[in-house]
Structure 1
Amino acid sequence: MGEFELIRRFFAAAPCAQAAAGVALGVGDDCALLQPAAGEQLAISTDTLVAGVHFPESCDPFLLGQRALAVSASDLAAMGATPLAFTLALTLPAADEAWLEGFARGLDRMARGCGLALAGGDTTRGPLCLTLTVFGRVPAGQALTRAGARPGDLLCVGGSLGDGAGALPLVLGTAQAPAQAADYLLARYWSPQPQLALGEWLRGRASAALDISDGLLADCGHISRASKVAVHIDRERLPLSAALLDLHGREAALQHALSGGDDYRLAFSLPPALLAELRAAWPEVTVIGRVEAGEGVHLLDAGGGELRPPSAGYQHF
């Protein structure tokens, strides 16, 4: 099977590659043509996932297809962008039809769930590697960024933390858990749900935002530096799922929440006057700290004393 037949069979014919609003020209030409409405800006993000680094060498391709797109779409949520389209650069060791069928099916499911149209990409031979670029649209001047947090703001997260990192022993087969807990944690790892609706709701309300991919402490450090403020996190207020606590216990679960990464929840700063409105619209959101004058990320215990975590988060180098 040649490159172009592979593209036609598994990607160009997929439901997510068909005509979509905002995509003037999709798969099949030298470039895709995107056309957001007047008064909108394009939000663009690229992620690369490498076998053996970001996912196990041997894994279910259907699940991998979902995860690969979800982690990229989460960046759109962090900017408050409405999903538009994506491209896929796929490096494969071989054109395995069964693998491609499963991967394309998982990719399509996540794409349609997120409202993303496949607009193009590339395929080549080599070690398994996936590079996805996502495009979103946002009203000009309304994109959420990491800058803008102000002293007095609340620090919030969009749901339970640590589940993705806590699922890793199950993904690698080095641990077992009761079926209900295992199903929940594995779903959080393989098919995280980008918080796109929350991101759009936060436009004009949150002062700064990002998605948690490398760990809460590390990612809040980006807000601290971009906004030139100090971020204070109350460790005891971190939301932890019952499944994570059952599998790892409280102390290990807290460490996963602080520095494990792979959460793909939104973390954002919010003026206190908007808290009641936030809780009415998004009851699963938790206030975990505050923004103050100063610099750096400060982890506090129940009494307000500062803690020194053993790890701040994931780094490639």
Structure 2
Amino acid sequence: MNEFDLIRRFFRGRTGSGVLLGPGDDAALLLPSAGMQLVMTMDTLLSGRHFPEDLPAADIGWRSLAVNLSDLAAMGATPRWCLLSLSLPTVDESWLEAFCAGFDELARQAGMTLVGGDMVRGPLSITVQASGEVPAGKALLRSGARPGDRICVGGVPGEAAAGLQCWQAGQRDGALVQAFSRPQPQLDLGCRLRGLASSCIDISDGLLADLGHILEDSGGLGADIRLAQLPRSLALNEWGDDSQRQRVQLAGGDDYLLLFTVPPVFNLPAQWREIGRVEARRGIRVLDAAGNPLASLPGGWDHFAGDSDDA
């Protein structure tokens, strides 16, 4: 099959709300909703760098969309449309069919429509550009945290990084592997945080690294994080030792959970786990059970630092 046959088979005929013209023409025609601001994001995933080379195609399809949906969630946006650019080393119809199944499953859940893209021959890489909408003036930003704000997380950090290590060790199922292979973007939480959170980001590079972005963008603030308040699941508690669990929770990345701050007067729902407070004094301090700061902190993901945790 040539490029155009592949596009016709796997990507044409898609319609959705606000789509005046979808895949098949030179560009898509879209109609944003009245009174909404457009939110746009884009991510590229490389085989062996952002996902294991032997990860099933359906999971690769899911992950490639999930990382973009998580960015929309962190802005409090509702998903609308996406573009997909695929670089494939060969034409493998069964791989493409499985990839589209995973991609489309999450797209349907999120209410997102694929409206176009590109396909070329080359090393396996996937680029997704996603667009969403947020009511005018209601977008969540990284820059609104204030001293005294509660620092909260929308789930259990560290499960995805532990899941990747499980995969690399030959494990192919279980809750931790699932957390890595099929992350769940917190879209409903993002929308619920509009008008409540003072700042928000999604955890992609590690909890401490991404919290650092909030603190820097909010004027150079600091934070105290309490290890004892980091939520743990049964699966994570049964994995590794204390040192390994501490590292993946603080610096593992790939969780795609929302990390956000709320004013101290706000009453937290039970599922929003407070893990620390924003402080005026610069720097992040992680406190042990006795309230003593850890002597050293692990670093997060850096695309250009040669991180040893590549997939």
Q: TM-score range by the shorter chain?
A: over 0.9
User: How many residues align structurally?
Assistant: 303
- Runs of 4+ aligned residues of structure 1 deviating over 3 Å after TM superposition are none
CA distance in 1 between partners of 2:165 and 2:258 (Å): 24
1:234-253 correspondence to structure 2 within 5 Å: 234-253=226-245
Deviation of 1:116 after TM superposition, in Å, equals 0.9
Structure 1 residue 175, shift from structure 2 partner: 5.0
Equivalent residue, structure 2, for 1:272: 264
SS in 2 for 1:104: helix
CA distance in 2, matches of 1:239, 1:198: 17
> What residue is the counterpart of 2:113 in the other structure?
117
Q: Distance in 1 between matches of 2:82 and 2:135?
A: 19
1:213 to 204, 207, 220: 204
- Residue 45 of structure 2, aligned match among 46, 49, 66: 49
Residue 62 of structure 1 corresponds to: 58
Is this contact kept in 2: 1:23–1:84, CA < 8 A?
no
Alignment partner of 1:74 is 2:65: no
More helix by share: 1
- Relative to 1, partners in 2 of residues 1:165 and 1:309: Cα closer, same or farther, differing over 3 Å? farther
TM-score (normalised: structure 1) = 0.92
Of 288, 304, 310, the residue aligned with 1:301 is 288
Aligned to 1:100: 96
Note the alpha carbon deviations across 1:283-306, whole angstroms, 9 max, x for none: 322100011113232212223222
Q: Which residue of 2 aligns with 1:285?
A: 272
Q: Tell me, what secondary structure is at the counterpart of 2:38?
A: strand
Q: CA deviation at 1:7?
A: 1.0
Once the 2 structures are TM-superposed, how far is the Cα of residue 138 of structure 1 from its aligned partner?
0.3
Q: SS where residue 266 of structure 2 aligns?
A: helix
Question: Per-residue displacement from partner, 1:18-64 (whole Å, max 9, x unpaired)?
Answer: 32112222211212222222221111010000011001122210111
Q: Which amino acid aligns with 2:102?
A: G
CA distance in 2 between counterparts of 1:23 and 1:250 reads 50
What residue ranges of structure 2 are gaps of 5+ in the alignment? Answer: 305-311
Matched residues in 1 for 2:166 and 2:28: separation? 39
1:9 is aligned to 9
Kept in 2: contact 1:238–1:254 (CA 8 A): no
Provide TM-score, normalisation by structure 2: 0.94
- Which residue of structure 2 aligns with residue 223 of structure 1? 214
Gaps in structure 1 of 5+ consecutive residues: none
RMSD across aligned C-alpha pairs, in angstroms?
1.4
Q: Alignment identity in percent? A: 50
Give the partner amino acid of 1:153.
D
